């Protein structure tokens, strides 16, 4: 405890007016980091909103129309706001309340749950460690743990305050797992495959891992110099995201950073690299990043649906590979894919 460097929250509350240099982004990124509240108001292309109300309709025609919209959004954007997703608003509010209450505890309380990345204990309370030569850091603290399948959870590291945390988070995970199945089914049919195909390819009920990361972005005295999360694509199959209605997420769409507008009661969803690879690039995993601001704390709840690290070789499904559309991705396990991305990033971060 206390040996892992300052939490961003403690920096933010220390009264500093200039952020430490590790948090200042390199010049090429600074050119276009704006005030996120102004950015959110801008007109222009926007993340599609998909109404899932009809995805279980008794009519195949109606279901088909719903799937088409989802497919189009997955192919054009790789992200979307899901509405009428079937998860009760009351449960979403309980989940948010539980996470907010945990993060409102004093830092010393939260440190009792600190992870230890050096020893491989990645679940728990943490902040990013510098993983490249520049020592670059992000303006956020987080809480990370596996939430599904239930027999793979380590409940001993889950917050005990507030008392509703475990129940609210578990129920959300269960409902999200069903939603993931529905989405994967629609995406499979959209590729001309049998409905259960993608679900099976990412590990099915036993092996697909749902990992929750609560991202806590404190107020930042110099938001025009920092990022909450640097630009990346998600490695998951799907990522589901909730937030506290404070803007911050930006998508790199057609060569420009687009700030996602906050849509009430929606669940934001990403297509991750895993589905991009399996679909041979027909569905997109979009580059995105997180801005911070000097007015409001932003909190988001990301659930990454990840295939097992070693058991499955990820590669474009053979049905989607043709002479005209050769495989765009080499076969890799999920672990190899992660390694490949980290390695590339390290190289890019080195001078020259």
Q: Quick check: 201 binds Fe ion (CB under 5 A)?
A: no
Under a CB-based contact definition with an 8 Å cutoff, are residues 182 and 255 in contact?
A: no
Total residues at the site for Fe ion (CB under 5 A)? 1
Query: Rounded to an integer, what distance in angstroms lies between the CA atom of residue 64 and that of residue 282?
Result: 18
Q: Toward Fe ion, which CB reaches closer, 185 or 306?
A: 306
> Cα 309 vs. chain centroid, distance in angstroms?
18
- State the catalytic residue, choosing from 97, 232, 261, 341: 232
Q: What does the block give as tokens for 286?
A: 């979009």
Q: Toward Fe ion, which CB reaches closer, 137 or 193?
A: 137
Stretch of 113-121, 130-138, 219-227, 228-236 lying at the interface with Fe ion (CB under 5 A): 228-236
| Sign of the alpha-carbon torsion through 205, 153, 115, 23 | positive
Stretch of 85-93, 231-239, 311-319, 322-330 lying at the interface with Fe ion (CB under 5 A): 231-239
Q: Toward Fe ion, which CB reaches closer, 39 or 234?
A: 234
Q: Toward Fe ion, which CB reaches closer, 142 or 172?
A: 142
Q: Toward Fe ion, which CB reaches closer, 165 or 334?
A: 334
- State the catalytic residue, choosing from 234, 243, 270, 337: 234
Stretch of 66-74, 161-169, 229-237, 334-342 lying at the interface with Fe ion (CB under 5 A): 229-237
CA quadruple 11, 38, 251, 341: dihedral, nearest 10: -20
Q: What does the block give as tokens for 221?
A: 């005295």
Q: Quick check: 234 binds Fe ion (CB under 5 A)?
A: yes
Q: What does the block give as tokens for 76?
A: 């054009």
Which residues have a Cβ under 8 Å from the Cβ of 193 and sit 6 or more positions away? 317, 319
Q: Toward Fe ion, which CB reaches closer, 224 or 230?
A: 230
Q: Which residue minimizes CB distance to Fe ion?
A: 234
Min CB(64)–Fe ion separation in Å: 30
HEC-encoded secondary structure of 224-246 = CCCCCEEEECCCCCEEEEEECCC
Min CB(229)–Fe ion separation in Å: 6
Q: Which whole-number Å values give the CA distances from 1 to 129, 161, 214, 278, in the listed order?
A: 15, 19, 20, 41
Min CB(238)–Fe ion separation in Å: 12
State which of positions 153-182 bind Fe ion (CB under 5 A): none
Q: Toward Fe ion, which CB reaches closer, 55 or 146?
A: 146
Min CB(76)–Fe ion separation in Å: 18
Active site residue 270: no
Query: Rounded to an integer, what distance in angstroms lies between the CA atom of residue 8 and that of residue 15?
Result: 12
Active site residue 288: yes
Min CB(144)–Fe ion separation in Å: 13
| Backbone φ, ψ for residue 58 (5° rounding) | -65, -20
Active site residue 200: no
Q: What does the block give as tokens for 302?
A: 């990301």
Strands 249-253 and 238-243: unpaired
Beta-bridge partners for 211: 146, 304
Min CB(232)–Fe ion separation in Å: 6
Q: Quick check: 140 binds Fe ion (CB under 5 A)?
A: no
Active site residue 234: yes
Task: Please count the residues of the chain.
Answer: 352
Min CB(56)–Fe ion separation in Å: 28
| Sign of the alpha-carbon torsion through 241, 245, 248, 253 | positive
- Kindly list the residues in this chain that would bind Fe ion in the complex (CB under 5 A): 234
Catalytic residues: 213, 232, 234, 288
């Amino acid at each position: 405890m206390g040996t892992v460097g300052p939490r961003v929250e403690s920096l933010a509350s220390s009264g500093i007016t200039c952020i430490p240099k590790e948090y200042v982004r390199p010049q090429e990124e600074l050119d276009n980091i704006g005030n996120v509240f102004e950015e959110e108001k801008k007109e222009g292309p926007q993340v599609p909103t998909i109404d899932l109300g009809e995805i279980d309709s008794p009519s195949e025609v109606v279901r088909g129309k719903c799937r088409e919209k989802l497919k189009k959004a997955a192919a054009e954007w790789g992200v979307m706001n899901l509405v009428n997703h079937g998860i009760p608003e009351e449960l979403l509010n309980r989940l948010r309340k539980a996470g907010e209450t945990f993060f409102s505890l004093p830092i010393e309380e939260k440190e009792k749950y600190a992870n230890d990345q050096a020893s491989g204990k990645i679940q728990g309370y943490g902040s990013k460690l510098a993983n490249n030569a520049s020592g670059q850091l992000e303006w956020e603290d987080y809480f990370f743990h596996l939430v599904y399948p239930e027999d793979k959870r380590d409940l001993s590291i889950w917050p005990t305050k507030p008392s509703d945390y475990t129940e609210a988070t578990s129920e959300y995970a269960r409902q999200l797992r069903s939603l993931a199945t529905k989405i994967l089914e629609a995406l499979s049919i959209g590729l001309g495959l049998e409905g259960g195909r993608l679900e099976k390819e990412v590990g099915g009920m036993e092996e697909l891992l749902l990992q929750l990361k609560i991202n806590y972005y404190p107020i930042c005295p110099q938001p025009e110099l920092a990022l909450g999360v640097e630009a990346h694509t998600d490695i998951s199959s799907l990522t589901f995201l909730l937030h506290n209605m404070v803007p911050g997420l930006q998508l790199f769409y057609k060569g420009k950073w687009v700030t996602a507008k906050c849509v009430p009661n929606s669940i934001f969803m990403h297509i991750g690299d895993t589905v991009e690879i399996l679909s041979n690039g027909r569905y997109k995993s979009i580059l995105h990043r997180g801005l911070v601001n000097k007015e409001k704390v932003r909190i988001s709840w990301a659930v990454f649906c990840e295939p097992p690290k070693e058991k499955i070789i990820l590669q474009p499904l053979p049905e989607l590979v043709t002479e005209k559309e050769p495989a765009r991705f080499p076969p890799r396990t999920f672990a190899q894919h992660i390694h490949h991305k980290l390695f590339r990033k390290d190289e890019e971060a080195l001078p020259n």
